[in-house]
A = this chain, B = another copy of it.
Amino acid sequence: MSNPPVKFKKDKEIITDYETQVKEIRAQLVEQQKCLEQQTDMRVQLLQDLQDFFRKKSEIEMEYSRNLEKLAERFMAKTRSTKDHQQYKKDQNLLSPVNCWYLLLNQVRRESKDHATLSDIYLNNVIMRFMQISEDSTRLLKKSKEITFQLQEDLMKVLNELYTVMKTYHMYHTESISAESKLKEAEKQEEKQIGRVGDPVFHIRLEERHQRRSSVKKIEKMKEKRQAKYSENKLKSIKARNEYLLTLEATNASIFKYYIHDLSDLIDCCDLGYHASLNRALRTYLSAEYNLETSRHEGLDIIENAVDSLDPRSDRQRFMEMYPTAFCPPVKFEFQPHMGDEVCQITAQPPVQAELLLRFQQLQSRLATLKIENEEIKKTSEATLTTIQDMVTIEDYDVSECFHHSRSTESVKSTVSETYLSKPSIAKRRANQQETEQFYFMKFREYLEGSNLITKLQAKHDLLKRTLGDGYRPEYATTRPPSLPPKPFGTQRPRPRSVFNVKLFNGNLESFVK
């Protein structure tokens, strides 16, 4: 042959290669078992950490809950004894800031209860779930390992079978080669013998000729035998090789199946329910946390409503109702006729008429001037009040910025000091506010003085006007008899007392008196 001599692999070499390959696989199989164990160990460790974590968090929540409860109780106890609380129990009608205060305490109690519930759910539900998942993982590992072990045993059997058929192939192939060479040798001998037989035979002895013929026959017989042997071995070798090839195919398919399908299935067996149960355990935690949040939010909304309802007007009303003896207007002063004086009205007959008329006119013009002046003061006062109200209703309460978390888990900004206005700025603002307040009080006082004077003069003016008649026509004033006076102001406009009472007690005067 023209091909360069190929180094044929011998039995030993092939077997060694095979054994190396099998050894590697065997090492992998052991490694796989270890990996499954390690995975379960990690899981059990994680589940243990989760249990420890929630046990500790449960303690923290319980402590927090107890502290909140103590805080609420401390102020509740203090409050329960107050007059406000007695009132509250009676008519549920509190001053709006006190109402906020009560709701604040209620919210703390609510938070306390909710965190206790959270603690309880951690301890008696979430942790229990993690414990069970841990048990499950351990049990599933055990079962999965059993199956893995069997699959690996089966795989080793397949590899052993390959070994066996390969050896058989080697054996029969060796025998086939040996038979072939023996056959070839026989063929060579036969050729040599036939060559001798074909020599010119006339100088050969008959005896010798007979001997040679017998030898050729012998060689032919041997060749035939060797030919049969070779054919037999050749067939055996073919069959062994076929078997080897088929087993090789089956082995590779088995290995492929094991690595590609079975290993995944085995890992799935270890996982059976793990993610789903973990999901449920964590969802229990989430459910508890979300519900705590919802409850907290509801409570805060109640407080927000109460804050929205902070109302100076209704509180003033309620405050005055709380002290009726101090704020109920007195009976008005009545005219007391002296020693049976029968005249109880202004006398506007001629002797004093002109003087009263003059006085009325003077009052009228003075009032006009005073009212204009006081209206100016009132405007200034009201504008100042508006300024103050703008100052005290400035929306400076948003603290969102303090709660911004950066995406990175490592750094969270500490922006509290930045967001709330700096102290010098607050001081300045407060000084400004107090200055404005000062000015307001000054103007308000001026206005009160003015309006008090106006009230007095107006009362006199109005009485004179009524006495002197509409449009102070003197001719009427004189002809009207003093015994038919205009009605007193008490009946002309609603009496202050009754007006006041209606406003003050809201029709509940009877119940108040009782």
| A63→B67 contact, CB < 8 A | yes
| A174→B339 contact, CB < 8 A | yes
Asked if A379 is at the interface of the complex by the 8 Å CB criterion, the answer is no
Given known contacts A256-B332, A259-B496, A280-B396, is B338 in contact with A269 (CB within 8 Å)? Answer: no
Report the minimal beta-carbon distance from A21 to chain B, rounded to whole angstroms.
7
Asked if A370 is at the interface of the complex by the 8 Å CB criterion, the answer is no
A274 — nearest CB in chain B belongs to which residue?
Answer: B312
| A500→B260 contact, CB < 8 A | yes
| B409→A106 contact, CB < 8 A | yes
Q: How many copies of this kind of chain does the complex include?
A: 2
Contact with B along A284-326 (1 / 0, CB 8 A): 1111111111111110100110010011100110011001011
Partner of A71, one of B14, B60, B235: B60
Partner of A21, one of B279, B331, B400: B331
Report the minimal beta-carbon distance from A331 to chain B, rounded to whole angstroms.
7
In the complex, chain B residues whose CB is within 8 Å of the CB of A399: 121, 125, 284, 287-288, 291
Complex Cα spacing A373 to B320, Å? 94
Among A200-208, A210-218, A437-445, the one that faces the other chain is A437-445
A84 — nearest CB in chain B belongs to which residue?
Answer: B42
Among A188-196, A221-229, A457-465, A506-514, the one that faces the other chain is A457-465
Asked if A134 is at the interface of the complex by the 8 Å CB criterion, the answer is no
Contact with B along A245-263 (1 / 0, CB 8 A): 1111111111111011011
Asked if A340 is at the interface of the complex by the 8 Å CB criterion, the answer is yes
Asked if A434 is at the interface of the complex by the 8 Å CB criterion, the answer is yes
In the complex, chain B residues whose CB is within 8 Å of the CB of A337: 8-9
Asked if A100 is at the interface of the complex by the 8 Å CB criterion, the answer is yes
In the complex, chain B residues whose CB is within 8 Å of the CB of A39: 319
Asked if A239 is at the interface of the complex by the 8 Å CB criterion, the answer is yes
| A338→B173 contact, CB < 8 A | yes
Complex Cα spacing A457 to B246, Å? 9
